[in-house]
C-alpha cells in the first residue's frame, strides 16, 4: 500500500480487496473478550478533526486503541488555530513531534492531499469537503460483501444529495471499480452537472431507482456545504425522495438498506425502515472499526494475519 490513504481514486481493485480481506481478520479482534492486540505498540496516531464527526472519529480511535497505538486527539477549539495559525504551520509543528499517522477531516477538499506532500507521516483522509471519504466507502463495501458474496454485477442505488456528498463520491468510485452497476437518484439540484460521466445510471424517480436493486443507500442532505438551500423543505424532500414503508413492495426481498449516518429520520429514510429487518446501518458502523484497523495496519506495515493474533 502507498504511504497515504487519500481517496478511493488512488486504489486498485486488488488493493480494495486486500484491505477488506484484512478487515475480516481485524473484525475478529472486536469479537474477543480482550479486544486488544499489541501490533501497533509504540506508534503514534493523531486524529485531526476540523469538522463534526461521531462514527468516523470514534471508530478511528477505537481502532487505534485495539491495535495498542498511542492516540492523540487534536481539539481545534483549544488549539492555536483559534489564534490564527494556519493548517500547514500546525501540521509542521505536529511533524516535529514525529507521529506515524495523521487522520484528518476537513471541510476543504484536497487538504489531506496537501498535508501528504509535506509530511513524512501517513495521512488518512477521514473526509475532505464534498470530495472523498475513502474509509466510509471501504466499510460500506465490506458490509455489502458480508451479505452478497459476489460483488461484480450487483445493482446498487444511491439516493439523495449526490453532488455534495463525499460518501457518494467515494462509493461511486469504489463500487464501479469493483464491477457494480450504480444508479443514482435525487433532486436535480443535488446531482452533479455531468453525472453520467461518473459511469452511473440516473433514475427519474425513487421507484425506478430502487426496483430490482441489491442495495439501496440513502444519503442525508448536506446542508452545511452551501449557504443557499437546494430544496424547499425537508417535508417536501421526504415526499419525493424519502424511503418510506410504501416503497418496501418495490424492493427485492434480500435487498439491504444502507446509510452512512447521521440519519435524518423522516427526511431521507423513515424510522421503521432504518430500524427494520432490511437495514444494515449498524453493521456499517461495526465494520468501520474493522476497516480502519486494517488501513492502519497496512499503512504501518503490519499486514500479516499472524501479527494481529495475540
The residue from 56, 183, 238, 279 that contacts ligand CP (CB under 6 A) is 56
Run of H or E including 252 = none
| Angle at 5 (CA atoms; ends 2, 11), nearest 5 degrees | 70
Piece in contact with ligand CP (CB under 6 A), picked from 31-39, 92-100, 145-153, 260-268: 260-268
Task: Give 7 or 261: the residue with its C-beta nearer to ligand CP.
Answer: 261
CB of 285 to ligand CP, least distance (A): 8
- CB atoms closer than 10 angstroms to residue 79: 13
256-258: strand order across its sheet:
201-202, 181-185, 155-159, 215-218, 256-258
The residue from 17, 30, 44, 53 that contacts ligand CP (CB under 6 A) is 53
Do 106 and 51 form a contact (C-beta atoms < 8 A)? yes
Rule CB under 6 A: say whether 54 interacts with ligand CP. Answer: yes
State the residue number with the nearest CB to ligand CP: 56
Rule CB under 6 A: say whether 68 interacts with ligand CP. Answer: no
Cross-strand pairs, 101: 45, 122
The residue from 47, 125, 136, 171 that contacts ligand CP (CB under 6 A) is 136
CB of 106 to ligand CP, least distance (A): 13
Cross-strand pairs, 70: 44
Rule CB under 6 A: say whether 260 interacts with ligand CP. Answer: yes
CB of 127 to ligand CP, least distance (A): 6
Q: Which three cell numbers stand for residue 246?
A: 410504501
Amino acid at each position: 500500500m502507498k504511504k497515504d490513504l487519500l481517496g478511493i481514486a488512488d486504489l486498485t481493485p486488488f488493493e480494495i480487496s486486500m484491505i477488506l480481506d484484512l478487515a475480516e481478520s481485524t473484525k475478529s479482534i472486536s469479537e474477543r473478550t480482550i479486544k486488544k492486540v499489541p501490533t501497533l505498540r509504540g506508534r503514534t496516531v493523531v486524529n485531526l478533526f476540523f469538522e463534526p464527526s461521531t462514527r468516523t472519529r470514534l471508530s478511528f480511535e477505537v481502532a487505534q486503541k485495539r491495535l495498542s497505538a498511542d492516540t492523540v486527539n487534536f481539539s481545534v477549539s483549544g488549539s492555536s488555530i483559534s489564534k490564527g495559525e494556519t493548517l500547514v504551520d500546525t501540521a509542521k509543528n505536529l511533524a516535529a513531534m514525529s507521529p506515524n499517522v495523521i487522520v484528518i477531516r476537513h471541510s476543504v477538499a484536497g487538504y489531506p492531499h496537501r498535508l501528504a506532500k509535506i509530511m513524512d507521516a501517513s495521512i488518512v483522509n477521514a473526509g475532505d469537503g464534498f470530495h472523498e471519504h475513502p474509509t466510509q466507502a471501504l466499510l460500506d463495501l465490506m458490509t455489502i460483501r458480508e451479505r452478497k458474496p459476489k460483488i461484480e454485477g450487483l445493482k446498487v442505488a444511491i439516493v439523495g444529495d449526490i453532488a455534495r456528498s463525499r460518501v457518494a463520491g467515494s462509493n461511486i468510485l469504489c463500487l464501479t471499480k469493483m464491477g457494480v452497476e450504480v444508479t443514482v437518484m435525487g433532486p436535480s439540484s443535488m446531482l452533479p452537472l455531468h453525472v453520467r460521466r461518473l459511469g452511473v445510471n440516473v433514475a427519474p424517480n425513487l421507484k425506478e431507482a430502487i426496483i430490482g436493486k441489491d442495495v439501496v443507500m440513502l444519503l442525508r442532505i448536506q446542508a452545511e456545504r452551501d449557504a443557499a438551500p437546494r430544496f424547499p423543505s425537508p417535508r417536501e424532500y421526504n415526499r419525493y425522495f424519502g424511503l418510506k414503508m410504501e416503497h418496501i413492495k418495490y424492493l427485492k426481498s434480500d435487498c439491504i438498506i444502507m446509510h452512512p449516518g447521521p440519519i435524518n429520520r423522516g427526511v431521507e429514510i423513515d424510522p421503521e425502515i432504518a430500524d427494520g429487518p432490511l437495514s444494515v446501518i449498524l453493521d456499517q458502523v461495526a465494520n468501520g472499526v474493522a476497516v480502519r484497523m486494517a488501513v492502519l495496519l497496512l499503512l504501518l506495515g503490519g499486514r500479516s494475519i499472524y501479527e494481529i493474533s495475540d
